[in-house]
Chain A
Amino acid sequence: MASQISWSFKHFDAKTVDEAVKHLIDSEGKASLIAGGTDLLNVLKDRILPHPPEAVINLKTIPGLDTIRNDPHGLNIGALVRLRDLASSARIRDSYPVFWKAATSVASPQIRNMATIGGNLCQDVRCWYYRTPRLIRGAVVCKRKGGTKCYALGGDNRYHSIFGGAQGCHAVCLSDLAIALICLGAQAETSKRTVPLEDFILPGVGTALDSDEVLIGVHIPPPETGSKGAYVKFTTRKATDFAIVSVAALLMFEKKKCKEAKIVLGGVAPGPWRAESAEDILKEETVDASTAEAAGKMVIAGAKPLKENKYKIPLVQALVKQAILACL
């Protein structure tokens, strides 16, 4: 039915976090936050949302959120820190290689010049049904947008979840930084609270942010001695690409034995996917090619691939093995 949706919006430059929150409250949940804008602008231009924002609140005008601070408790990264700055930080490169590799793998230099860590964590999903531009075939109201149907089921789901849906949506989490940061045990700091990052990403929804809440930064605990990590991202082309599957792995060694292991997968589930059964294989073991392979095999425990994405099963097994071997 023809109905008028307004695609124009009010634009506010927030000067402080409190001001951003006030604008959020004033717009009664009908606002979007913008930082680098590399995702939101496409979402708006393609008019894919059933309820477009009535207000866009610019966070770039808030001073102090674009710094990387080091303290004895770890690293504090403001939500407005750009990916370029993460990639050029020697501290991150040397102390958090998993995170550094993930940051440098995102998109292209041009996008990394604009995009922020906060935006990368809060990005919308890339499902091609969800993203169908309105200009091509009108509004596509899928399950994630409040409709009744996830079009990926029974459709072309080669890039969708192999671990089932969340809230009926089978789109996957493709935030490179979320995968890497969860592996490192990072926390999200918002205008209200501090939450573990795995609880911040809400599969099938996006983030756990309330309608009056702003992500202000990320805290990463100090690297544990004896830990080694790797980030492996499998893409179609070498740059400017989202992962088909990504793996962040962190292994803590003590006298050559693996004491702790953390393996987080991207591109396989609606949220970052913790491969605990694979981690268990490594614990208390001397890690070598065969343990890595065995852990890789275990990573698909619980998988239920769809018709077109069964190839992700051997793929994720191979990549987990590669990531573990890269930690040695």
Chain B
Amino acid sequence: MSQELRYVGKGVPTESGPEIVTGKEIFTDDIQMAGMLYAKMLRSPHQHARIKSIDTSKAEALKGVAAVLTHENIYQYIPHVLVPDTFLLESETFYALDSEVFYVGEEVACIAAESEEIAEDALALINVEYESLPAILDAEQAMKKGAIRFNTRMDSNLVGKFEIQDILWGNPEQGLEEAEIFMEGKYSCSVQTHATLETNCVICEWSNDELRVTATIQSPANLHLRLARALGIPQSKIRITAPRLGGGFGGKPGYAESRPCLILAVLAKITGKPIKIRLTMAEKLACTHTRYPTVASLKAGAKKDGSLTLLQGNLIANEGAHALIHGITDGVACSRFDTYRIPNYDFHAQAVYTNKVPSGPMRPLTGCECFWISESFFDELAEKLDQDPVEFRIKNHVKKGDIIHMMFSFPHAKSIVPGGDAPLLIGMAAQEFGWKGQWKGWRKTLQVNGTKVRSIGVAVGNNICGIHYSTVILKVNPDGSVNVGLPVAEMGQGLTTATSQVVADALGVSQDKIFIHHETPLAGFAYGSIAQCGLPLNVAAAKIAAEDAKKQLLEMGAANLKKKVEELETEDGFVFVKTEPQQRIDFPSLLFNHGSYLTVVGRGTAHPSYMDFDPETKLPFQERSYHVGLAEVEVDTETGEVQILRAVTGAECGRVINPRIVEQQMQGSLIMGLEYALYDGILHDKRNGSILTASLTDYKLPTILDFPPDSKTVVSADPDHAPTCVAYQAKSMSEAPETFVAPMLANAVYNAIGVRIREGPLTPSNVLKALGKVKADIAKHGRRKSHGEPD
């Protein structure tokens, strides 16, 4: 493209900013319909139980209750109400309502009533007799032979997987032999959840035999496919609209929506009324998926010159009671450990079922869990090698042409970095931070002020740029305005703005003429706003559609202006002659002569694709965005408090479509990562599986006051770093900037206090324990039995 880009690369404001901050934007829960019913779920108080009997007669008799569904009657209405997982792997479906329940808070029955209050009152009138079954919460325990079975119908607690997902490269024995220095360690992480201020909300309504769904959904097209299968109706008879989301972060890709959606579809059918469910914040925190509790044992070998020879590892991810993305967790987790150039790998991962609320994707799937582990571990290795941790990363980080694990895709176990220079980015960020002048060596403090010690740390992270493909529909209207149908939702990541910027430039129209819709089936197909799919799939598809439309408009213009296509260009809704810009014709005039509307379809494909192979190795390309963070922390060695004083975060994301959005994503990720690093996260009672953090008082989200007083962002924005990305060589980057935050802090805390905390998070309690300040027993003062304490 020869012409200068008018919108791409500019920090244009996001399209709904004023509406959102003034409360005018419409979210799913704002939608009210005449005669609407409201649903509430009865939830299991047990972590594992069989429902012996369930009596809903009293609830049904309550005035204002329209219908009650349980596992006993839901199947009378619609034959196969099974909840399939994301990738439609048939082996892992579960029932929308079941006679066996697998975690505290799982759905047991659903009540439709004239108001939420009536529905909630009626919950207490359902009489359920449970037979409590043995349960297991810990994944390592659940792997053991003879362990309690999380589900009486399953033969094993191990989640099925694809062999190819483990990383088995080179010759591990040779790697072991060549190594002169070894590092071993076992690490585990805390459990974060999305805690979006907008909770999950679903509305179902039947219009004759068409099901209309409005939902807080990151992946409407995906839900579309799954709903049709589960309900046994044609996809063409389901329409899903995704209003703007009040935050997603992986909490609304469909898993939390599909189950209530199935139940509500049935309730809407039998009552003949529209029906809505919106989760309370307590339900959001307690009953929708979390990050994976993850534990890993690692061993690495290196030569004295610092080159790495081997990585061995065993990782266990606690999948919870349902595999929401069956067979994917372990493979994706493996690919979080391919950051450095290591010739020999022997790395295994296993997802394990337990009676915990399901785990699932969060900014990005397994990413923060695994980078906490890997970046803490490799930091320890760098110290053993007596290398500056920044130098270690610059030296060993994969870059263009290196082999990385094939995240998500089969049948390839390996792929190639098509562009990218993470070492360059690390160097840029380190320079901005002033690392060279600040780094005094391992476990050296920067400053000691009484009980407060300061030091610095670094960590890296990355994530894949999208999976699979997406189609969008673009329509140029007779008046020259443009509609684009995206089959994914806007959740604040800036997809809508970026799409309109790209379409405006690619088509040659003014950005304010473009309107983006988020619905399906009319908008096409995409897996959704997940796995950094936005730019590489959807925006790319929109660009391809825009280019197609432009081509057609140029051809119309050539006929009209009596010129060759090559002599023409588009701008601001006109086709004009390049050498004589005053010779031009506007789109409406062209379209009027050609049947008024111009509709095109664009298809965008992510890399890895099955089309783009490295000619030398014959391996597919895989684009990832690369990130780094450097921080200075202050630890109070008396109270265990950790504060982040200063941070430089860096992103390598090819061409930047909108610098404001990139910076927002980096800042948002930083504060979300602080939460993961420093706060408790989701906690369950180890004995009965009950949620302890079911409110935003107990589940802590940081406030703006917790943001570091000094933070900068560095962006390495070279289009050559993303050669296979279609949308102006822009890489997506909205998930990955959270991955390095927690280990960055852990590594800085280590240098401050001289003790490594391998089990997250970095709470005062864990810091004081690491410092040896928490005595196992306070024998001196006597430990009397408290009143009411069980023996």
Question: Which chain A residues have a beta carbon within 8 Å of chain B's beta carbons?
Answer: 1-8, 42, 46-47, 108, 126, 128-129, 131-133, 135-138, 140, 143, 149-151, 153-156, 158, 164-165, 167-170, 234, 236-242, 244, 300-305, 308, 310-311, 313-315, 317-319, 321
Bound together, the chains give a CA A218 to CA B517 distance in angstroms of 58
Q: Is B43 an interface residue (CB 8 A)?
A: yes
Q: Are A164 and B786 in contact (CB under 8 A)?
A: yes
Q: Are A149 and B120 in contact (CB under 8 A)?
A: no
Q: Is B402 an interface residue (CB 8 A)?
A: no
Residues of A within 8 A of B763 (CB): 236
Bound together, the chains give a CA A135 to CA B104 distance in angstroms of 11
- Given A136-B286, A304-B778, decide whether A237 and B639 contact each other with a Cβ distance below 8 A: no
Q: Are A240 and B703 in contact (CB under 8 A)?
A: yes
Partner of B764, one of A140, A237, A244: A244
Separation in Å of the A299 CB from the closest CB of chain B? 12
Q: Are B695 and A7 in contact (CB under 8 A)?
A: no
- Given contact pairs A128-B692, A136-B286, A168-B787, a sample of 10 additional A-B residue pairs in the complex whose CB atoms are under 8 Å apart: A131-B694, A131-B698, A135-B120, A136-B105, A156-B692, A158-B680, A234-B764, A237-B702, A304-B778, A310-B778
Question: Which chain B residues have a beta carbon within 8 Å of chain A's beta carbons?
Answer: 40, 43-45, 55, 58-59, 104-105, 117, 120-121, 123-127, 280, 282-283, 286-287, 451, 636, 638-641, 678-680, 683, 685-687, 690-695, 697-698, 700-703, 705-706, 763-765, 768-769, 773-776, 778, 781-784, 786-790
Q: Are B679 and A150 in contact (CB under 8 A)?
A: no
Minimal Cβ-Cβ distance residue in B for A170: B786
Q: Are A315 and B640 in contact (CB under 8 A)?
A: yes
Partner of B679, one of A8, A236, A303: A236
Q: Are B774 and A304 in contact (CB under 8 A)?
A: no
Minimal Cβ-Cβ distance residue in B for A154: B790
Minimal Cβ-Cβ distance residue in A for B702: A237
Q: Are A128 and B686 in contact (CB under 8 A)?
A: no
Q: Are B44 and A313 in contact (CB under 8 A)?
A: no
Bound together, the chains give a CA A314 to CA B783 distance in angstroms of 17
- Given A154-B687, A164-B786, decide whether A5 and B124 contact each other with a Cβ distance below 8 A: yes
Separation in Å of the A328 CB from the closest CB of chain B? 14
Separation in Å of the B355 CB from the closest CB of chain A? 13
Separation in Å of the B537 CB from the closest CB of chain A? 36
- Given A304-B782, A304-B786, decide whether A158 and B286 contact each other with a Cβ distance below 8 A: no
Q: Are A136 and B782 in contact (CB under 8 A)?
A: no
Q: Are A313 and B778 in contact (CB under 8 A)?
A: yes
Q: Are A238 and B786 in contact (CB under 8 A)?
A: no
Q: Are A2 and B55 in contact (CB under 8 A)?
A: yes
Separation in Å of the A51 CB from the closest CB of chain B? 14
Residues of B within 8 A of A313 (CB): 774-775, 778
Bound together, the chains give a CA A251 to CA B723 distance in angstroms of 69
Minimal Cβ-Cβ distance residue in B for A164: B786
Residues of A within 8 A of B781 (CB): 300-304
Minimal Cβ-Cβ distance residue in B for A242: B697
Bound together, the chains give a CA A135 to CA B39 distance in angstroms of 12
Bound together, the chains give a CA A323 to CA B744 distance in angstroms of 32
Closest 8 CB pairs of A and B: A168-B788, A318-B638, A238-B705, A311-B765, A2-B127, A137-B45, A133-B282, A128-B692
Bound together, the chains give a CA A132 to CA B45 distance in angstroms of 11
Separation in Å of the B420 CB from the closest CB of chain A? 36
Separation in Å of the A17 CB from the closest CB of chain B? 31
Residues of B within 8 A of A165 (CB): 786-789
Q: Are B282 and A136 in contact (CB under 8 A)?
A: yes
Minimal Cβ-Cβ distance residue in A for B772: A314
Separation in Å of the A232 CB from the closest CB of chain B? 10
Residues of B within 8 A of A143 (CB): 788
Bound together, the chains give a CA A50 to CA B225 distance in angstroms of 44
Bound together, the chains give a CA A326 to CA B581 distance in angstroms of 74
- Given A239-B705, A310-B778, A318-B638, decide whether A153 and B788 contact each other with a Cβ distance below 8 A: yes
Bound together, the chains give a CA A42 to CA B694 distance in angstroms of 12
Q: Are B764 and A315 in contact (CB under 8 A)?
A: yes
Q: Are A237 and B679 in contact (CB under 8 A)?
A: yes
- Given A237-B702, A237-B705, A311-B765, decide whether A135 and B778 contact each other with a Cβ distance below 8 A: no
Minimal Cβ-Cβ distance residue in B for A138: B45
Partner of B698, one of A47, A128, A135, A302: A128
- Given A4-B121, A238-B703, decide whether A136 and B778 contact each other with a Cβ distance below 8 A: no
Q: Are B700 and A237 in contact (CB under 8 A)?
A: yes
Residues of B within 8 A of A151 (CB): 685
Q: Are A137 and B44 in contact (CB under 8 A)?
A: yes
Separation in Å of the B588 CB from the closest CB of chain A? 50
Minimal Cβ-Cβ distance residue in B for A136: B286
- Given A137-B104, A304-B782, decide whether A2 and B769 contact each other with a Cβ distance below 8 A: no
Q: Are A311 and B690 in contact (CB under 8 A)?
A: no
Residues of B within 8 A of A150 (CB): 788-789
Residues of B within 8 A of A132 (CB): 690-691, 694
Q: Are A126 and B705 in contact (CB under 8 A)?
A: no
Minimal Cβ-Cβ distance residue in A for B40: A135
Residues of A within 8 A of B691 (CB): 132, 136-137
Residues of A within 8 A of B127 (CB): 1-2
Residues of A within 8 A of B706 (CB): 237-238
Separation in Å of the B442 CB from the closest CB of chain A? 26
Bound together, the chains give a CA A291 to CA B781 distance in angstroms of 21
Q: Are B639 and A137 in contact (CB under 8 A)?
A: no
A-B contact pairs, 28 of them (CB 8 A): A4-B58, A46-B282, A46-B695, A108-B703, A126-B698, A128-B693, A129-B685, A131-B694, A132-B694, A135-B280, A137-B105, A140-B690, A149-B788, A149-B790, A151-B685, A154-B687, A155-B687, A156-B685, A156-B692, A165-B789, A244-B764, A308-B765, A311-B774, A313-B775, A314-B773, A314-B774, A318-B451, A321-B638
Residues of B within 8 A of A244 (CB): 764
Q: Are B283 and A136 in contact (CB under 8 A)?
A: yes
Minimal Cβ-Cβ distance residue in B for A47: B120
Q: Are A311 and B700 in contact (CB under 8 A)?
A: no
Bound together, the chains give a CA A251 to CA B689 distance in angstroms of 46
Separation in Å of the B617 CB from the closest CB of chain A? 49
- Given A137-B690, A242-B697, A311-B769, decide whether A153 and B283 contact each other with a Cβ distance below 8 A: no
Residues of A within 8 A of B775 (CB): 310, 313
Residues of A within 8 A of B638 (CB): 314-315, 317-318, 321
Residue among A128, A140, A154, A302 with max Cβ neighbours from chain B (10 Å): A128
Q: Are B692 and A311 in contact (CB under 8 A)?
A: no
Separation in Å of the A100 CB from the closest CB of chain B? 19
- Given A2-B125, A236-B679, decide whether A315 and B120 contact each other with a Cβ distance below 8 A: no
Bound together, the chains give a CA A308 to CA B280 distance in angstroms of 29
Bound together, the chains give a CA A303 to CA B197 distance in angstroms of 39
- Given A2-B124, A315-B768, decide whether A135 and B703 contact each other with a Cβ distance below 8 A: no
Residues of B within 8 A of A135 (CB): 40, 43, 120, 123, 280, 282-283
Bound together, the chains give a CA A137 to CA B49 distance in angstroms of 13
Residue among A135, A151, A164, A315 with max Cβ neighbours from chain B (10 Å): A135
Bound together, the chains give a CA A131 to CA B640 distance in angstroms of 27
Q: Are B639 and A315 in contact (CB under 8 A)?
A: yes
Partner of A133, one of B40, B44, B280: B280
Q: Are B774 and A310 in contact (CB under 8 A)?
A: yes
Minimal Cβ-Cβ distance residue in B for A301: B781
Separation in Å of the B293 CB from the closest CB of chain A? 15
Bound together, the chains give a CA A175 to CA B280 distance in angstroms of 26
Bound together, the chains give a CA A110 to CA B773 distance in angstroms of 37
Bound together, the chains give a CA A154 to CA B791 distance in angstroms of 10
Minimal Cβ-Cβ distance residue in B for A6: B121
Q: Are B789 and A133 in contact (CB under 8 A)?
A: no
Separation in Å of the A43 CB from the closest CB of chain B? 11
Residues of B within 8 A of A128 (CB): 683, 692-694, 698
Bound together, the chains give a CA A155 to CA B45 distance in angstroms of 16
Minimal Cβ-Cβ distance residue in B for A245: B639
Bound together, the chains give a CA A46 to CA B694 distance in angstroms of 10
Q: Are B782 and A237 in contact (CB under 8 A)?
A: no
Q: Are B45 and A234 in contact (CB under 8 A)?
A: no
Bound together, the chains give a CA A238 to CA B686 distance in angstroms of 29
Bound together, the chains give a CA A5 to CA B280 distance in angstroms of 20
